[in-house]
Amino acid sequence: MNLQATAEFYDVAVDNGFPYRVYAAQQDNVSISVPAWLESNAMHPLNAWRYAGGCETGPIALHPDHPDVLYGGCYGGAISRYEPARDYRKEIITYPQQQAGQAARDLKYRFQWVAPILVSRHDRSVVYHASQHVHRTRDGGMNWEVISPDLTTNDAATQGFPGGPINRDGTGVEMYNTIFALAEDPADAKVLWAGTDDGRVQLTRDGGATWTDVTPPGLPKQATVNRIDASRPGRAIVAAHRYRLDDFAPYAWRTDDFGKSWVRIADGTNGIPADHPVRVVREDPARRGLLYAGTEFGVFVSIDDGARWQSLQRNLPVVPISDLRVHQGDLVVGTQGRSLWILDDLSPLHALAAARPASAIALHAPRDVVRADRSGGGGAGGREIELETPPQGAVFHLFLRDSATTPYTVEVRDAANTLVRRLVTDTAESRKAGQAALPVKAGAHRVTWDLTWPGPRAAPEQVLWGYSGGIPVVPGEYTVSLQAGAITQSHRFRVLPDPRLPEVTVADYAAQLAAARVLRDTLESLNRAVETIRAVRTQVKATVAQAKEAGVDAQLAPLSATLEAQLDSLENRMTDPRIKVAYDILRFGGRLDNQIAEAYGQVTGDNGYIHGAGIGRPPTGALTRTQELVQQWAPLSQRLDRVLADDVAAFNRKVGELGVAPIVVRKRVKPIA
């Protein structure tokens, strides 16, 4: 059974698709590509997995705008170019040599187990691969050139055959004096950083013509430079470790002047414990100085450029973090033993890095959200990419300094300032609206709005086979507002159309909303009518019982019998009281309420089997059916009005004469004209 994920990943790469895909190589298995979230028509998460090139060691490299070509590594210096669309893979190794069972000193090129591969962000035809040298190809691997000298210490004493004295073991993972990390400057294609497994950091600023040793002072000898993050021109963040030598100290440095000077940002005294080796540090591209560190025992965050760190573990298992990527406002995490995880929506950390909340309650600016089909619902933290999905809709992040003792609200309005959704702290009111109550406990919270207008409220004990949720909103500008006593905070955000459906126009989305509103309001009117019928019937029985006690029920019998017969006839046209569970529909068939719900689901795009299957303008058949259902409801609604106006009025006149309490009828929801 899949009780928990146990995949061991070496690296993490991402593309710019929608949804973006995550690429990684996993020990004792193959490389994979998986979407950041699963669509609701995925029968099983495994269906969304794809092979990503290379083999178990990887790494996987690609240009994020062009995931049609993937480069994957394997031990012994093997590397392949893979085209998923054609399922075509070509081996493009620089120099085929039998590495297994060989001493490192006898090899021309020392490629380690996870030899780095880098596709240039500036030119996707340029690919780098590293042994003790940096190799470059400009033609998809058909020809390679060496663009660096040996950048390691090249210590022959460490290049013997591994293992012994009883058994020698040379699989390739033991290869030493190799380049372990490569990074490219985001602004200058000629600037490359290289880190070695024997404690060196090297830099070229002329495309490999010359290299300079810029190793941070204090980086211990034989430390493995595991990752280099080049987030801005001149900046590099180096993460190194020596746990294989029983040194578990955290090592990380930052430079902003191409390695001329370095600042150590992890030393065991500023938040990352002294026994937590650091494997990777990444800077958030959307917020300068916001850093994420992956260690041997979890994830840490710094909002002040590494001066101080604090845990960002949340629900992530305590596990070695092999790699991190900050992408599209998410933190993608690769682990060695617990698979891939994603922390959705880093905007609260962006806000915290900019300024701490000044008020007792704060609403952070939400990020834009795409209206697209994705399964799942709200959550409260990270998610395991193999098993779960992110919140569906817009996420609003709230901060409460203290537990809220007075009610507050969060409202969403469209560009015309029309109220779309109102969220409240009152549990009863929120339950009535079919949504969760706002949090009141002190701390940071996130609240999800599912990008819908409210749906129809069900009648008591009503069972619908069809859809009865909310109506998807039209893409456009929206405003979310927090109201808490004297505190009012508002932020604008956008609901974006699905980029995979460029043929669906805003007018198409609006047409879907208009048709869905007609069905929703018709079903709402019908449901309230059922509620009215049942309330009147209950009062009739109570009045007759009261009259019976007074000995005057005989005078009410004809009127009550006529009224109840009218009510029963109407209710049985609207709904079937025999239906107690959904599958009773198969026995009795759905009446008008279920017919409306069926059409409503088709128009809104939720047909009960595939969510989001009807994005955009409804087909003619659905619109025709909508009008038919409205026309079927209109005479029933009018007939109920007559019963309430005539039969109930006659009944009330009689009970008035008898001194018995009359029937009270609340104001009805009017049907669609």
Out of 420-434, 489-503, 614-628, pick the least confident: 420-434
Structure confidence at residue 379 as a pLDDT band (50, 70, 90): very low
C-alpha pair distances (Å), 567 with each of 426, 546, 562, 634, 646: 35, 20, 9, 16, 13
**Mutual orientation of helices 620-642 and 592-604 as an angle, nearest 10°?**
140
pLDDT in tens, 150-164: 999 999 999 998 877
pLDDT in tens, 328-374: 999 999 999 999 999 999 999 999 888 878 889 999 999 999 998 65
Which contiguous run of DSSP H or E holds residue 34?
strand 31-35
pLDDT in tens, 196-239: 999 999 999 999 999 999 999 999 999 999 999 999 999 999 99
Please report, rounded to a whole number, the percentage of residues in the chain having pLDDT higher than 70.
Answer: 93
Strand pairing report for 443-449 and 452-453: unpaired
Indicate the CATH number of 7-37+45-213 among 3.40.1160.10, 3.40.50.620, 2.130.10.10, 1.10.3720.10: 2.130.10.10
Residue 275: count of CB within 10 angstroms of its CB: 14
- What average pLDDT does range 379-408 have in this prediction? 68
Beta strand spans in 337-388 (E): 340-343, 361-363, 369-370, 383-384
Q: Is the pLDDT of residue 78 over 90?
A: yes
Distance of alpha carbon 585 from alpha carbon 583, whole angstroms: 5
Helix (H, G, I), strand (E, B) or coil at 539: helix
Third-level CATH fold of 229-343: Methylamine Dehydrogenase; Chain H (2.130.10)
Q: Which residues of 610-627 are buried (b: 16+ CB within 10 A; e: fewer)?
A: ebbbbbbbbeeebbebbe
| Long-range contact set of residues 18-24: C-beta below 8 Å, sequence gap at least 24 | 18/370, 18/372, 18/498, 18/499, 18/500, 19/372, 19/374, 20/327, 20/328, 21/67, 22/332, 22/340, 22/342, 22/385, 23/52, 23/60, 23/62, 23/70, 24/52, 24/58, 24/60, 24/323, 24/334, 24/340
pLDDT in tens, 100-125: 888 899 999 999 999 999 999 999 99
C-alpha pair distances (Å), 598 with each of 64, 283, 454, 592: 41, 49, 17, 10
The CATH class, in words, for 361-496 is: mainly beta
Q: Which of 311, 214, 321 is CA-nearest to residue 277? A: 321
Q: What one-character-per-residue DSSP string does 454-467 give?
A: --PPPPTT---SS-
pLDDT at residue number 385: 34
